[in-house]
């Protein structure tokens, strides 16, 4: 059965705190990378529970 990638994308954006919380989104060969305004708005548990998200990492960087 084909995956619904539009629904997966919606789940990821929602889990990251919504489109207004995402300041940057880009990809590399194997990952989607994002920069958020606030980690407090992200629902990390929802991202971890999603079976279509194979892994999730949090890297904190300070941008000034």
Note the pLDDT of residue 38: 92
Note the pLDDT of residue 14: 96
Note the pLDDT of residue 12: 93
pLDDT tens for residues 23-62? 999 888 888 888 999 989 999 899 989 988 887 777 665 5
Residue 22 CA to residue 34 CA, distance in Å, equals 7
Residue extents of the structural domains in the chain: 5-49
Q: What's the CATH superfamily of 5-49?
A: Glucose permease domain IIB (3.30.1360.60)
Note the pLDDT of residue 64: 47
Q: Is 40 helix (H, G, I), strand (E, B) or coil?
A: helix
Residue 8: which H helix or E strand, with range?
Answer: helix 5-15
Note the pLDDT of residue 54: 82
Note the pLDDT of residue 60: 60
Please say whether the beta carbons of 12 and 53 come within 8 A. Answer: yes
């Amino acid at each position: 059965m084909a995956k619904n990638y539009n629904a997966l994308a919606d789940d990821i954006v929602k889990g990251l705190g919504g489109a207004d919380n995402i300041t940057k989104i880009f990809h590399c060969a194997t990952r989607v990378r994002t920069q958020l305004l606030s980690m407090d708005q992200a629902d990390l548990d929802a991202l971890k529970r999603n079976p279509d998200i194979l892994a999730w990492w949090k890297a904190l960087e300070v941008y000034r």
